[in-house]
Structure 1
Amino acid sequence: MAKSNRLLYFLALIKIIIPYLLQHPFYEPHRDELLYLAEGRHLALGFMEVPPMLSLFSWFTNLFGGSMFWVKLWPSLFGAATFIVSGKIVQSLGGKKFAILLLFLPFLFGAYLRMFFLFQPNAPEIFFWTMMAFSIIRFTQTSNPKWLYLFGVSVALGMLSKYSVAFYTAAILLGLLFTQHRSLFLNKHFWYAALISFIIFLPNLAWQYLHHFPVVFHMRELRDSQLQYVHPPGFLADQLLYNLPCFFIWLTGFFYALRSKQYRFIAWGYLFVIALLLLGHGKSYYAMGVYPALFAFGAVQLEKFTELKRKRLRIVLILFPVITGLFFIPLLLPVLPPPQLARLYVKLNARKTGLLQWEDLKDHPLPQDFSDMLGWKEMTQKVAKAYNLLDSSSKKDVFIFCNNYGMAGAVNHYGSEYHLPEAYSDNASFLYWLPSGKYIRDMILVTDDAHEEQHDFAKGFVSVAKIDSVTNEYAKEKGDYIYLFKGADNNFREFFRKKIEKDKLRLKY
């Protein structure tokens, strides 16, 4: 145990360090990271898109200067913690050093490499899914009620990180109901733990109630803009693709759990969560939290299978994920500047993997996540260019408005370097932060519309000038424009006030 512990913690440290060495410094924060960093400047018990947990890490990130090191540290730590908890599952099953080594491979050569390097709710969500599985596994091994309380706390904290934790909660409880462990529901400690879990989650539930459940509004928008493109064959194919270099490990774990009376609930939980996500048109990566426990089971079984007569097979079990995984690394992290990376994808014929397909179902030179890490600083520089065209008195009252949360998040993230005032948007949680009574005289507008000056609202200004645009050809925001509107009249101010009131009213339904 001591030797496997040393290996476990050493590999966890490697898990934190490796992505920092792989991602090229050319890239900037991801579009969604910019939103979550903005939420750290507006701490609350909830937000339109996500529960409040990530905003706490955002607050610390902003406090420490908002550098890429801090932005990426939190998901890296959650990745290492998920690996450690998975390693504890391995040890509880009798696994030793080789099983720990096998377990490490999917964290380095699969989708987790990206998911634990993007500052998004997925990282803590996967960790808490794994904690939930670990706690119930340990309860079935020991009957110690402390594991039920750990399960309850993990569910609550998971729900405070991402609401899709509810899928796995339902799935694992259904899995228990379909096995010999259904007697757990008669255990008083299970219900005490459920009560504690509810109390922990209650503040966010109250926030949702007081704000008319904006998560429903957000999910409706998500369904209309993205989830409608999710189809079962693609969802199921992605489950294999995301874990392709190490597919034999999780499949071994799944079939072992399915055959085991003690751990069959893990296999049932997997099947139920896949079914629930298919019914709910969930994105493929929503299921990634279910795999660490399966990898742990598979690693132990493969270690036992090769323990005596098949030790040479262990070399193959290590080399296959490493060799195939090296091909996937440039698809999982932006290891080269955009032009070189795009050329590499052409050589690798990466279009066949589907990883170059964006939400518009079209292939592009870079994966969407990578293109969402480009152009933000250029955009802010050009907003500053428009800002500096104003005299000192006009700068005091200028209103910077952006058409989406990525734009507003970028201007606020980089804006202090250029002494810019706060930027606003009516998109996502930025809608909550729009000042209701701000006097608008001049406005800098960041938009993807090349013809803003032709709209009726533009008649409410003395002058309109298109100042510049984002030119990075690999950025998803390429072609976004920066306008300077000067001399607003009362008609525009009234139009804008009513527009914001109408947008906020939509959140109540």
Structure 2
Amino acid sequence: MDPNEKRLAWGLVLLKFALPFLLSHPAFELHRDEYLYYAQGRHLALGYLENPPLIGLLGWVSSLFGGGDFWIKFWPSLFGAATLWLTLRLVKGFGGGLYALLIAGLGLILSAYLRVHFLFQPNFLDIFSWTLASFFLQRYLLRQQHRDLYWLAGALAFGWWGKYSVLFYVLALLLALLATKHRVLLVRRPLWIAAAIGAALVLPNLAWQYFHNWPLVHHMQELRDTQLQYLSKTDFLKEQLLMFLPVSFVCIGGLWWLFRSATFRVFGFLYVFILALLMLGSGKGYYALGIYPVLLAAGGRWLEGALRARALRLTAAGVIVALALPAIPLLLPLQAPPAMAATNERWGLKDMGILRWEDQKDHALQQDFADMQGWRELTEKTERYFQRLPDSTKAGTVVFGRNYGFASAMAYYAKDPYFRSRIISDNGTHLLWIPDRFHYRHILFVGEEAPPPGDVVWEHFARIHVVDSCTNALSRQYRSPILFFEQTDSTGLRLAVEGIREMKAKFRR
């Protein structure tokens, strides 16, 4: 890069890192998933039931700095900035100049990545690893040096430790090689050495998966049964357009440019095969986000060649910014919740389906934003009640979160270490953290709703006290109750212990 290109690149990278912190309103808490991944950092392991362990390791590092919201949000912003830097390097590899860098940078800053790089979820690791792999693939295509294949394998192994969906990239890459002149790589030793390196790097997690009876398979089946089977291929393709609406013409132009290039045509096939595999696997639209930095980089190169006049170039950049600005409030929580609800009403977002949650009902806020409230309130009320109990009652009480969100959020906001040590849940990875031998007389329950009639464990308590509930009407946790189940009998305890043992047995060899 020349000096002007470097200045632009660093300016875009710094803007990418800072933007989520500058635009998000402090009234919002963490998202329920973020509490889970941070909680994994308190239980370091080579794997978890829902995801690989890398994000838990990052959560542990954040805890060394106090575990505040900034240090949790630091990682998606940092990896987002690193992804942008790699995208700009891809632009240079494609032969792009200053204007191509600007277009690719705007595309990465003003699109769906704005939301992804605000949330402490494995998606930011997935996108980074795909982009890193694409960078080393491009370097190999340009230099034909075997070490770039080894680095490519390392990038894909890093992706495995971040999110298992990197398998889609691996399979699509093999198909893309078969579809182009680069198929000769498949019969050459360097590629298989690279594959062996990648396999060795992921072996510890594969061993963990084996000894825990392949929870990845269990998790994928659960996703398919509860979510993925209801996704349509039409909606999947529609999402590809909506995620990059301001720069959709750049992505389309980039794909066309890649297919016209004999050197880089493999990237065009890589994109097509990734979409095809995701549709066949009923993947969600955002699963494909990792391949779009390549399209944005190629699209910047294409647009730079297509537009020679300065006025046309400025107009195109202005159109991207103008189209992106209205979408920013949909991607980041810019306003306090009441003000956001009023804005949503004024803009008529209900009519667009943007406010429809998983329950298929329309609400005042987007589901993700509603899921960033109410957690602190529930924790404070639960902990306050626990502290008022006699010491003898505390010793016989467990705090039960009905799902990972309640348990992880209480563990995050709890002030008393003893209260935190009493928190359990049988949902997801929290199940593995329950001691094999545990005893209780009382349960302080927090969940979306009270246990339903007929649940044999909950019917063995002498009394039930309604403690409180979440009163934030804009929270997804609104009206979630806090209940104190007092004095279980020996049968209730036995049924609970046996039930936990049976659930954990599914993940043991």
TM, length-normalised to structure 2? 0.96
State the match for 1:494 in structure 2.
494
Q: State the distance in 2 between where 1:397 and 1:350 align.
A: 48
Q: 1:84 to 1:451 in 2, by over 3 A?
A: closer
State the match for 1:480 in structure 2.
480
| Equivalent residues in 2 for 1:70-469, closer than 5 Å | 70-307=71-308, 310-416=309-415, 420-422=419-421, 423-450=423-450, 455-469=455-469
Question: Retained in 2: the 8 A contact 1:386–1:484?
Answer: no
Task: Look up the SS of the partner of 2:419 in the other structure.
Answer: coil
Q: How far did 1:356 drift?
A: 2.4
Task: Look up the SS of the partner of 2:445 in the other structure.
Answer: strand
Question: Retained in 2: the 8 A contact 1:217–1:507?
Answer: no
Q: State the distance in 1 between where 2:354 and 2:216 align.
A: 28
Q: State the distance in 1 between where 2:75 and 2:403 align.
A: 25
* Most deviating of 381-390 and 135-144: 381-390
Question: Retained in 2: the 8 A contact 1:386–1:482?
Answer: no
Q: State the distance in 1 between where 2:178 and 2:351 align.
A: 41
Question: Retained in 1: the 8 A contact 2:456–2:492?
Answer: no
Q: State the distance in 2 between where 1:315 and 1:348 align.
A: 29
Cα distance per residue 1:415-463 (max 9 Å; x no partner): 1268623311000100100112112022201122246688543443332
Q: How far did 1:337 drift?
A: 1.2
Q: How far did 1:95 drift?
A: 1.4
Question: Retained in 1: the 8 A contact 2:51–2:164?
Answer: yes
Q: 1:417 to 1:101 in 2, by over 3 A?
A: farther
Q: How far did 1:498 drift?
A: 1.3
Q: How far did 1:508 drift?
A: 5.9
Task: Look up the SS of the partner of 1:478 in the other structure.
Answer: coil
Q: How far did 1:208 drift?
A: 0.3
Q: State the distance in 2 between where 1:349 and 1:299 align.
A: 34
Q: State the distance in 1 between where 2:459 and 2:366 align.
A: 40
Q: How far did 1:87 drift?
A: 0.5
Q: 1:247 to 1:353 in 2, by over 3 A?
A: farther
Task: Look up the SS of the partner of 1:428 in the other structure.
Answer: coil
Question: Retained in 1: the 8 A contact 2:108–2:293?
Answer: no
Identical positions, percent: 41
Question: Retained in 1: the 8 A contact 2:80–2:117?
Answer: yes
Q: State the distance in 2 between where 1:94 and 1:130 align.
A: 17
Q: Does 1:61 align with 2:62?
A: yes
Question: Retained in 1: the 8 A contact 2:108–2:296?
Answer: no
Task: Look up the SS of the partner of 2:420 in the other structure.
Answer: coil
* Most deviating of 473-482 and 324-333: 473-482
Amino acid at match of 2:482: I
Q: State the distance in 2 between where 1:430 and 1:355 align.
A: 32
Question: Retained in 1: the 8 A contact 2:41–2:58?
Answer: yes
Q: 1:91 to 1:287 in 2, by over 3 A?
A: same
* Most deviating of 119-128 and 258-267: 258-267
Task: Look up the SS of the partner of 2:382 in the other structure.
Answer: helix
Question: Retained in 2: the 8 A contact 1:208–1:215?
Answer: yes
Q: State the distance in 2 between where 1:129 and 1:456 align.
A: 47
Q: State the distance in 2 between where 1:443 and 1:233 align.
A: 46
Q: How far did 1:329 drift?
A: 0.4
Amino acid at match of 1:327: P
Task: Look up the SS of the partner of 2:465 in the other structure.
Answer: strand
TM, length-normalised to structure 1? 0.96
Q: State the distance in 1 between where 2:459 and 2:157 align.
A: 51
Q: State the distance in 1 between where 2:450 and 2:459 align.
A: 16
Q: State the distance in 2 between where 1:224 and 1:363 align.
A: 23
Task: Look up the SS of the partner of 2:466 in the other structure.
Answer: strand
Question: Retained in 2: the 8 A contact 1:226–1:359?
Answer: no
Amino acid at match of 1:380: T
Runs of 4+ in 1 over 4 A off after TM superposition: 451-456
Q: How far did 1:176 drift?
A: 1.6
Q: 1:417 to 1:5 in 2, by over 3 A?
A: farther
Q: State the distance in 1 between where 2:351 and 2:81 align.
A: 31
Q: How far did 1:305 drift?
A: 1.9
Q: Does 1:38 align with 2:36?
A: no
Question: Retained in 2: the 8 A contact 1:465–1:484?
Answer: yes
| Structure 1 unaligned blocks of 5 or more | none
* Most deviating of 166-175 and 112-121: 166-175
Q: State the distance in 1 between where 2:402 and 2:506 align.
A: 17
Task: Look up the SS of the partner of 2:414 in the other structure.
Answer: helix
Cα distance per residue 1:170-209 (max 9 Å; x no partner): 1122112101111122332211111111000000000000
Cα distance per residue 1:380-417 (max 9 Å; x no partner): 01211320231123223321111100000011000126
Amino acid at match of 2:225: D
Question: Retained in 2: the 8 A contact 1:106–1:112?
Answer: no
Q: What is the aligned length?
A: 507
Task: Look up the SS of the partner of 1:420 in the other structure.
Answer: helix
Q: How far did 1:362 drift?
A: 3.2
Q: State the distance in 2 between where 1:479 and 1:188 align.
A: 61
Cα distance per residue 1:353-376 (max 9 Å; x no partner): 543232333332222111111110
Amino acid at match of 2:25: H
RMSD: 1.7
